[in-house]
A and B are shown apart, each in its own frame.
Chain A
């Protein structure tokens, strides 16, 4: 049984049919990517899994460990172990780095383990430790992305969702972030991420879905996708 499964999933923003019946699954321990152009419905899909869109727009099923979760509010989904680092990072700008991390562990009561996990985030992203008492709003874009991922990790995710982790970042920082994402997956966390930078997405994940105007047009292993002529031409910018 897949950890996460979307069955004929649709999303409507009022009259706009923005996701048009997609099927997608993520197995335990896997790292899967969802790529596609701007406005193809990737973020809507991820936000709906997390319970952050309006429930009335959802049709079809979202199953987590076989249980239907569509229509649950964001806090309930987070409590089940699905945690997301949002598009545009969304750090709490007037809280310190450490307060942001603690807020990520809001649902947990195990104080000793929380402290341990904070140290773990600092080990993974040493720059956050240097800035632990700084307000998150004063961090650079890359540091904010590290904090957003760190904050999601503080909830001990069973499924980690990442929305455009590379957005607006310099190539060197993007590389650093994706090395960390790869490590997180290797250490056992299941990851589904959305990315516009198809090159790095396909190089990092094992399987990929390609989304185009609300539908999934191709689904394959990343290796095959990278060698697919259409994908090369449209998404990887090869001539």
Chain B
């Protein structure tokens, strides 16, 4: 029982983390909340399905194409909508409202494109189960845990060990100073949105084979990913990783040991608890206004 729950918790947690990362990266780079993260995940799942099932491409190729499409979508969103609104001097809250509108447009758009019934996402491996110690699990579950962890480790190295990753962090910390160092901050912000969309799309492709693909796939997961980001410390990259995984584990263990009634409640109870008791999250991100 424990091991089975642990694995399900990590699967869900990995997904939440990938979504939470998007929220936090965007908040840091633009000072905004983007509510499209969950729906970009849905979009990623549909794109993956198209490349993998309909066009019959290998899974890895489908994954790469999906990520590239999502990256372009995220960047276009920033350049074509967000930046345009900001240049009109629109108040940030209205830009956030625009992201909510886009979230609904994606939800309805995918129904127009792919129909409203749940689509079957074929399994990635030929085996239907593998043994982990004494428990048999879907190999896709292990892929999900492994791939999301790999994404997080790669992101960490990209952000801290590469010239461009450091420049992106610098641009998010202090745009004026970054410009004065020769960093194209506008480009770096666009890339951050692209990266966030790419991470969400990976989550969509990892969860597709387990959940099936439907228009509202990402809406609940999206809001829980948001909760994971707050738990970790909104805006903190490592907080998003840890917060997401902890949330996945909490959800699965509460469902398993207490009752499934609380399954969708726990994320929001934790969210509000953290806001009251520790708004800075697990990683002490700045959350209180200076006087």
Interface residues of A (CB under 8 A from B): 50-52, 73-75, 78-79, 83-84, 86, 90-95, 99, 102-104, 106-107, 151-152, 155
Contacts and interface: CB of A to CB of B under 8 A. Distances in A.
Given A95-B166, A102-B163, A151 B176 contact: no
Contact of B182 (A79, A86, A91, A94): A79
A93 B286 CA distance: 13
Query: Across chains A and B, which 10 residue pairs bring their CB atoms closest together, nearest first?
Result: A74-B179, A78-B182, A90-B177, A107-B182, A75-B184, A92-B170, A103-B170, A75-B182, A92-B173, A84-B180
Interface string B165-183: 0110110011011111111
Interface of B is mostly: helix
Contacts of B201: none
Contacts of B166: 95, 99, 102-103
Given A99-B166, A106-B163, A78 B179 contact: yes
Given A95-B169, A102-B166, A106-B167, A75 B177 contact: no
Nearest to B173: A92
Given A94-B169, A94-B173, A95-B170, A104 B181 contact: yes
Contacts of A84: 180
Given A51-B179, A92-B169, 13 more contacts: A50-B179, A52-B179, A74-B180, A78-B179, A86-B180, A90-B177, A93-B173, A93-B174, A99-B166, A103-B166, A103-B181, A103-B183, A106-B167
B266 to A, nearest CB: 32
Interface of B: 163, 166-167, 169-170, 173-174, 176-186
Contacts of B184: 73, 75
A182 B181 CA distance: 22
B176 A86 contact: yes
Contacts of A91: 177
A74 B163 CA distance: 19
B174 A90 contact: yes
Most buried by A among B180, B183, B184, B186: B180
A51 B180 CA distance: 8
Nearest to A47: B176
Contact of A103 (B167, B176, B185): B167
Nearest to A100: B170
B96 to A, nearest CB: 23
7 contacts: A50-B180, A52-B176, A75-B182, A75-B183, A75-B185, A83-B181, A152-B180
Nearest to A90: B177
A192 B285 CA distance: 38
A158 to B, nearest CB: 13
A151 B178 CA distance: 11
Contacts of B185: 74-75
